[in-house]
Each structure stands twice: as structure tokens, then as C-alpha cells.
Structure 1
Amino acid sequence: MQAIILAAGMGKRLKELTSNATKCMVEVNGVTMIEKTLGHLEKLGLKRIVFVIGYEGQKLKSYVESLNIKTPLEFIDNDVYYKTNNIYSLYLAKEKLVEDDTLLLESDLVYEEAVIRKLVDHPYSSLTLVDKFESWMDGTCVTLDEDDNITAFLSKREFDFSKTDEYYKTVNLYKFSKEFSQKHYVPFLEAYCKALGTNEYYEQVLKVITFLDDPQIKAVKLNGEKWYEIDDVQDLDIAETLFATKEERLKRMQSRYGGYWRYPKLLDFCYLVNPYFPCRKLVDEMKSNFETLLTEYPSGMSVNSLIAAKDFGLHKDQMVVGNGASELIKSLMEQLPGKIGVVKPTFEEYPNRKNAEDVIVFLPSNEDYSYSAEDLMNYYADKDIKTLLLINPDNPSGNYIPKKDVLLLAAWAEEREICLIVDESFVDFADEADSSLLEQAVLTQYPHLFVMKSISKSYGVPGIRLGILAGDNKEMIAKLKKDVSIWNINSFGEFYLQIYEKYAKDYKAAMDKFRQERRAFVNALAEVRGLRVIPSQANYLLCELTNGESATKLAEDLLDEDNILIKDLSTKKGFEGRNYIRIAIRDEKDNEKLVAALKKKLN
């Protein structure tokens, strides 16, 4: 068996990275793509490796020869690479193609050894390697029958996004038998180039062959093996995360702060959403209006604050809508002078907006990081603070203060003219009924009170970035509205606020279902030895590792071996290097996967 590698292209989308080198010489985590590929091929005992080179071809030839590959190397020059496509590169290698069984590879791929083994070890002689279509993939796709016969090759022009469940992406790694090349591929390749020219892709020939009664080529599916095609700097960034060392991969993944839909096989127990809302009918209503929402401007702040106020039974001059709660946190913190009281460990977005010397920290003196309203009042009674922050339930502890006690805290703050910020982004998950402070009477009674709520967290729509801030200090609310952009939320967010009220009963049912799942999840985690689960009223659980296991190592292992991301808290302020993790609560199926993975590693 031999390998033919197509490496003549210019790789323009990688910009300066390919200004004086070929695409396959771009490094992924310090190793060039071609070096990694040759490392895999070297283990196969191939008869030879044939390169078709073009752009910066001599530089690539010199580099490959410097790697001291034991397998014999041959090079074919495509001197018109700039005006042809890869069909012509393969056409130049047609005489080689018919001499032996061949692995055909494109050079802009990075993949683990198991990927190429999938081709080599499969008993069928001629194969197209495919993977289930995901949103990040681009290029030629195929459809298959139940026996993995290729029923169609689909170009970009023929791609139908409504049928993506049926599609498989070609990985651009192929195995051709000598007989297949001689009888099928090369004759059609020659005819195609003669009839339609050389500025095409070699997959077009395979597309023609699939129309034969017996095309003699099948597909073999990947099953979780890692690979990535690198066309631009964003692809490179994702590939470097996928193929990083276990330690580095966790750091890189955490530093992304979301966007994990780019990693469709990842199970995200780090970021916090509602697994049971929005309901299907709400999603379908959003979909049915997608084109309008995509192409039309949203309303300004005045209208959106009116819509949000209607949803929560307030007046529009008591409400400001944000592009996520984070926008409102930034604006509010910049408007509030003086020192702020903060419980730690906590969500750091608030204290990070203040100078360190202006943050007065209360640290609970127990292993559950629990505290009461009385604890806060006693601690801050003699402290010179102008603002007090309460996240309720708190993040990451899940500590919850009942509503009647929060109102006592509001009265205490009002008496001292202390601004009290209550962030109740997770309060709807609490067992207590009627737990929210977003009430007309409450805000009117306590004008020093501000209530923050992230719509993303409890309503399960982080992608549309919505948050609200309410208070009866109308002067401050007006100032915040002027501080943020007039079009700070998009049409999707506005439409969601507009239609949510119709689905309030579905939301209540989703929360009831969630609380049942939380209880079941806590009971299941209690069976994991070496894991102490701390009571929580939120959609996440703070857990301590009690068997000496490192939280960082556990997070690294789960990501590396199970593709599960959890929150390592060992470096978070307030934990002082202790081994705590935070686990989001997802649906029953996902939670069972995490419990099984934790038992495997900790028991």
C-alpha cells in the first residue's frame, strides 16, 4: 500500500501563517500538520508516500525530507496550482494511483492515529471515511443507505440544511484498491478533466461513480475519533484545543467562556442553564419568525423595558433590560460609589468591577460555605460599606436565604441607606414558592433595593443574551438606560420577552420537573465515594472531593477521557486551594453519564 498526499494549495484563508509556507506546515500545538500525518503513516509500513506539491513546493519538499522519514518519498509538481483545483493535482498522480492500493489524503487535516487506522484496518478494499455532520463542518457531504453504501455525494450547491440529520461529512481520507483505481476512478478522472476542466474537486469523480450499479466503494463511519480540517485561524484555534495535552485542554476550554456548540460531542456540566425549558412549542414559535427577526431591527430600550416590565408585573421606569446580566452588572457597578460588601466564594463579575481595596469580604466559616441574613447583618454592622451584594441562591455554593429573611436584610439596608443588590438569577430553582423580590410592593417599600436577574440561567436561553435589573430608584434606572446602548438586545431577545408570558405554565412545569431531577441527582451523587455533595437550591451542586483526589486532575480526566466539562474551583477565590468542584444539573440522561464517569474515577 502507498499514500498520496495532496499538498499543492495556497491556504489563503490562513493569511500570514501561509504567506511563505504551505498550509500543511502550519503548526498545531507546536507540531506541523504534515509532521503529525507522516508520524501516523510511518507506522503503517507503506511502500512509498507520494506528495503532489505546488505553492511553496520546494520549501515543503525540503522540510519533509528534513524529518528523516524512513518510508520512501516521491514528489510531483503541480506548477499551475494557482489556477487549478485538487482534481488536477490528483490527475498528475494518476500513474502512481493505478500502481498500488492507495491511501489518499488531503494535507490540511489533523487527526489522531485511530482515524487512519479506521481505514487501514477495515476489510473492505475501497472506502470513504465519513463522520456524522456537525455544524462546524464544511465541504462535501454524503448520504448512506443501511449498508453504508454511498447513495449521493452532495456539493455545497445541493446541501439542504433541513436534512442535516441524514448527512455525513467526508473526512477527506480515502482508501482506493488498485483495481478500483484502474477500472473506475482513473478512467472517470481522465474523462472528467477532459470534459469539464481542471478547476474542480476530485470528489466530483466519486459522485459520478456512485451512479454506477456497482460503484465498489463504501463508507466507513467514525465513532468519536478526533479530527479537524483547518482552513482558517478559527479552525486552528479549535483544533489546538481538541488536540492539546490533557492539562492544557482544560485551561483552553475554560478560557473560551462558552461557545461549546462548536464541540458537539462535549457534555457541558460547567455552564448553567435550565435543562427543561424552553419548551418545544416556544422554540417552534421562535423558528417560525426566524427570517423576520434576522432581517429586522429590534426596538429601542424604551419599548424593551416596557415588555420586560409587563412580564414581571412592574413599571417600565423600574426596569432596564441588558444584553445579558453581565452588561447590567458592569454598568451598575460603575454607578455605585464607595465600598461594597461581598460574600466569597462568589460570582466574581461584581467584585471584579471594583478596586480590590473597595471590596469588603465576608467568608463563611464552615465547609458548606453557608450563611444567613443574620450573619451578613452582624458582620457588616460596623463596616463602612455603601453597597451590599447578595446572590441568592449563591454561586457556587447554592446557599439560599428564604424570602422573609432577605426582606429583613432589605429593611436593615434601607435603615442604613445601604444599596442592596439581590441577584436572583437562580431563585426560580429554589423549593420555596413565591421566592422572587420582583414585586411592585417590594421595590416601592425598599428604594435602596436593586434586583438583578439573568434570563439565560433559569429560562434556558443563554444564546440570546438577556438580563434585567429592577428597582424603584428611578433616577438610577434612567441613568443605566442611558449608559447602555439603545439597541443593546437583538430582535430574538425582544421577541422572546414578547411571547414568554404565553408559556408561563410550561415554565412552572419545567421547574417542578427540574426540582425532581435535582433530588434524584443528589441521591445518585451520594453513592459516589469520595464526593461530598453540599445542599443547593440552584441548578448546580458544590461538591468537595474527600479522598485526596485533586479537583484539577479530576476535571482534566473527565474532559480527556469522557468529554465531560465540569468547573474546577480549586483556584477560585475563597477556596484556598481546597478540592471543590461545581456540577451543573442537566437532564436525567446526561446526569447518569456524569455519575457513571465519577464512579469510575473516584470509587
Structure 2
Amino acid sequence: MPWLKELTRKALRDLEPYKPGKPIEELKRELGLKEVIKLCSNENPWPLPDSVAKAANSAIKEINRYPDPEAYRLRRAIAKKWGVSPAEVIVGGGTEGILYTLFQAILEDGEEVVFPFPTYPLYGVAALAAGGRCVKVPFEDSFAFPIEALKAACTGKTKAMVLCNPNNPTGNFIPRHDLLNLAAYLESQRVLLIVDEAYADFVDDPSYLAGLELFREIGKVVIVRTFSKAYGLAALRVAFAIAPTPVVDSYAKVRSVFEVNTIAQRAALAALTEDKYIEEVREKVIEERGKLFGALSNIGLHVINTTANFLLILHPASNDIYDELLKEGIIVRPGKDLGLPGSLRVSVGLPEENEQFVVALEKVLKRVEGQ
């Protein structure tokens, strides 16, 4: 029925859907493997605190009831922890869930969303889904944020700019001075700045400016944080944003009514109190990231030492290396899926996982480079 094809929006017809990291069970089925190491989705591989597991388990008793649509307790706990008003807090279904709804709440048809490229692909998908237009500004050769080019890309139709800080997949962050400068410019142009801080917990550079400081200074930015990385709740799909009250109010009008389930709300509430655990995860990631960078550099690879919980390997045979690593039971992320061909993004795993990855990679490189 050809007419059915005409039902789809023209702006979406040539859009490639987002490609998530390959699931462990899928690779096991495909290749008959019993053991698989997943280093493709930047997850927290360490066990959760008992308090979080207990909170999630206790919530199972209430799955016959709808969750609190306002996430009342979680929103207030977030507000208290970050020193803002509950009226300035959004709770949503993961970073992508928040962005999908946020763009629906603020974009008129044809209005533009500017972001550097390559970055998290769902920014563009979410903007197009809301009827917006995407303006991609290429990173500089060194992966430095193209501040002046980002400013120049803003027009009378620009409604928002999205920055992933640190950026995924390049792993670098925008320096403090540049972020303050850009934020001030965008405010003067009445362009909403949205800062995705999914990887902020892993930054160990004192020159990093957390978006919350921006929010406190000018109040006209949206800061998005997730429970999927350092907090270890990736499967529960829960995130939050700190935003100006008019943005929060507009968001509330179009959000899914029961967007965040009870288990996710209770687990996130418990996770917020686990400061010691988060600091331990942060320290482990930074330590393992350094070890992994050293090991990969020692075998002659061009590695970007990021400020996130992943590393970026630049190699012209990245696609072949990815395929061969799958045969070894190792899942990494091909850069082509993230707009950066000729690269592999590798999550920081447990110490033994990182060691097995390096051993497997050395074997694979001999096969690939020896062809």
C-alpha cells in the first residue's frame, strides 16, 4: 500500500534511527558465545549499593499501581541536593526522554537546534521528531569545541543549542571561560542553552565548569543529568534536569503522564544518598581509564584520553577491528554509529574486563594489520 509511505513525515524519511550498543545476549546468540564483555554503552560495571537494590526490590510490591506522575519525592530530593527549587526540576525517562519532551515543549515547526558534531546522535533525532531543524557545527581537528562557529550558526530561527559536556564520543569538555562566554552570548540572542552532563561525574580537571554553576549565575540554561552512568541505573531509564521555571511548566504540559516508573523513582531516590559510592566509582573509573590509556598507547594505538568513562581509539581499520573483537566476545562501539568513522569508543569496564580487552585487541590487530 504505497499511500502508507506518505503518512510518514517528510523530515523523517531519510533519518537513520539511533543505533544503540550491541546487547550481550544478541552476540551470544549470533556467535554461540558463552562469555561476552560489554564495553560499548558507557555503563557503570560495579555492583550497586545495597540500599539502592533494596529500594528497587521494595517497589516491586507496588507495580500493580501507577507511579507518582509528579515524582514528588524524587524531585524534592534532587532540588535539595543541588540547591534549587523543586519548581526548577524535571524528572524524565532518561536523557533522551527529557530531550524528546523538552523539544516538543519549546520548538515551533522549522525552528533550529544547534549542536557541535559529532555528538550524541539523539539530539538530532529528538529535534527532528519535534518538527525542528538541526544545525550541525563540526568540531575542530583537535576536537576542540568550535565556539565562534557555534555562535555564527545561530540565526533568528535558532531556539536552542545543545552541548554534551564532556562530549560523547570525543570525551573532551568545553573550557570554563569558553562556556561562560558562549552562555552569555546565547542569552543575548535569546537562545536556550541545554547542557547534557551525562559524564560530568568522571571529570578530574579543575578547569571544568559544571552547568549548575551556570544555572546559578544566569538561570537561563537547562542542565541535564542522568542516573544511567555513575549511579548505575541504566536499565531503569531515569534522568533529571535543572531548568528555568517557565521551561519546566511547558515541559509538564506535554510530558508522558507516567514517564518514570515506581522502581526507577525509588532506586534513584536511594542512589542520591550514596555519595561515598559515587565517589568510589568515580575514583575507580579515573584509575582504570588511566591504566587503559597507558596499555593501549603502549601497543602503538592513537588514543584520545578523555574526561569521561570511555576512551576513543582512532584507527583507519576500525570497522574490521570491531567485527573481529566481536568474535573474541568483546563488544565496543564503532565510531561510524556516532558520526565519527575511523574510530572505536571503548567504555571503561572492570579491571579484569579491561585487561581481557587489551589482550583480545592485540590479537585482533595482528589479524587485521597483517591482512
Find the counterpart in structure 2 of residue 351 from structure 1.
124
Conservation of the 8 A alpha-carbon contact between 1:551 and 1:579: yes
Listed as ranges, the matches of 1:465-544 within 5 Å are: 465-472=237-244, 474-529=245-300, 531-544=301-314
More off after superposition, 564-573 vs 582-591: 564-573
- Change in Cα spacing, 1:499 to 1:532, as seen in structure 2 (3 Å) is same
Conservation of the 8 A alpha-carbon contact between 2:90 and 2:243: no
Listed as ranges, the matches of 1:146-545 within 5 Å are: 260=24, 263=28, 265-276=35-46, 278-279=48-49, 281-286=50-55, 289=58, 291-301=60-70, 303=72, 304-334=74-104, 335-337=106-108, 338-355=111-128, 358-366=133-141, 368=142, 370-372=143-145, 375-381=146-152, 383-384=154-155, 385-432=158-205, 435-438=209-212, 442-472=214-244, 474-529=245-300, 531-545=301-315
Conservation of the 8 A alpha-carbon contact between 1:377 and 1:412: no
Residue 333 of structure 2, aligned match among 554, 557, 567: 567
Find the counterpart in structure 2 of residue 594 from structure 1.
357
Q: Secondary structure at the match of 2:195?
A: strand
| 1:343 to partner: Cα distance | 0.8
TM-score, normalization: structure 1? 0.52
AA partner of residue 458 (structure 1): A
Deviations 1:306-352 (A, max 9, x none): 23323433211111101111111111122234212111111111112
Find the counterpart in structure 1 of residue 15 from structure 2.
none
* Structure-1 separation of matches of 2:172 and 2:69: 37
Deviations 1:67-123 (A, max 9, x none): xxxxxxxxxxxxxxxxxxxxxxxxxxxxxxxxxxxxxxxxxxxxxxxxxxxxxxxxx
| 1:405 to partner: Cα distance | 3.5
AA partner of residue 224 (structure 2): M
AA partner of residue 503 (structure 1): E
* Structure-2 separation of matches of 1:389 and 1:291: 36
* Structure-1 separation of matches of 2:212 and 2:62: 29
| 1:460 to partner: Cα distance | 1.5
Q: Secondary structure at the match of 1:399?
A: coil
- Change in Cα spacing, 1:555 to 1:258, as seen in structure 2 (3 Å) is closer
Conservation of the 8 A alpha-carbon contact between 2:59 and 2:266: no
| 1:429 to partner: Cα distance | 0.7
* Structure-2 separation of matches of 1:487 and 1:464: 14
* Structure-2 separation of matches of 1:339 and 1:457: 29
Listed as ranges, the matches of 1:81-100 within 5 Å are: none
* Structure-1 separation of matches of 2:86 and 2:25: 35
Q: Secondary structure at the match of 1:386?
A: strand
| 1:580 to partner: Cα distance | 1.0
Conservation of the 8 A alpha-carbon contact between 2:198 and 2:224: yes
- Change in Cα spacing, 1:256 to 1:417, as seen in structure 2 (3 Å) is closer
* Structure-1 separation of matches of 2:278 and 2:47: 6
Find the counterpart in structure 2 of residue 583 from structure 1.
346
Q: Which has the higher contact order (CA 8 A, sep 6+)?
A: 2
- Change in Cα spacing, 1:400 to 1:563, as seen in structure 2 (3 Å) is same
Find the counterpart in structure 2 of residue 555 from structure 1.
322
| 1:257 to partner: Cα distance | 5.2
Q: Secondary structure at the match of 1:270?
A: coil
Q: Identity, % of aligned pairs?
A: 23
Conservation of the 8 A alpha-carbon contact between 2:52 and 2:270: no
AA partner of residue 363 (structure 1): P
Conservation of the 8 A alpha-carbon contact between 1:414 and 1:447: no
| 1:409 to partner: Cα distance | 2.1
RMSD between aligned residues = 2.6
Find the counterpart in structure 1 of residue 3 from structure 2.
none
| 1:386 to partner: Cα distance | 2.9
| 1:524 to partner: Cα distance | 0.8
- Change in Cα spacing, 1:408 to 1:256, as seen in structure 2 (3 Å) is closer
- Change in Cα spacing, 1:255 to 1:451, as seen in structure 2 (3 Å) is closer
- Change in Cα spacing, 1:526 to 1:297, as seen in structure 2 (3 Å) is same
* Structure-2 separation of matches of 1:290 and 1:467: 18
Find the counterpart in structure 1 of residue 31 from structure 2.
none
Q: Which runs of 5+ in 2 are unaligned?
A: 1-17, 29-33, 367-371
Conservation of the 8 A alpha-carbon contact between 1:277 and 1:510: no
More off after superposition, 334-343 vs 402-411: 402-411
| 1:412 to partner: Cα distance | 1.9
Conservation of the 8 A alpha-carbon contact between 1:311 and 1:497: no
AA partner of residue 580 (structure 1): S
* Structure-2 separation of matches of 1:274 and 1:484: 28
Conservation of the 8 A alpha-carbon contact between 1:428 and 1:435: no
AA partner of residue 362 (structure 2): K
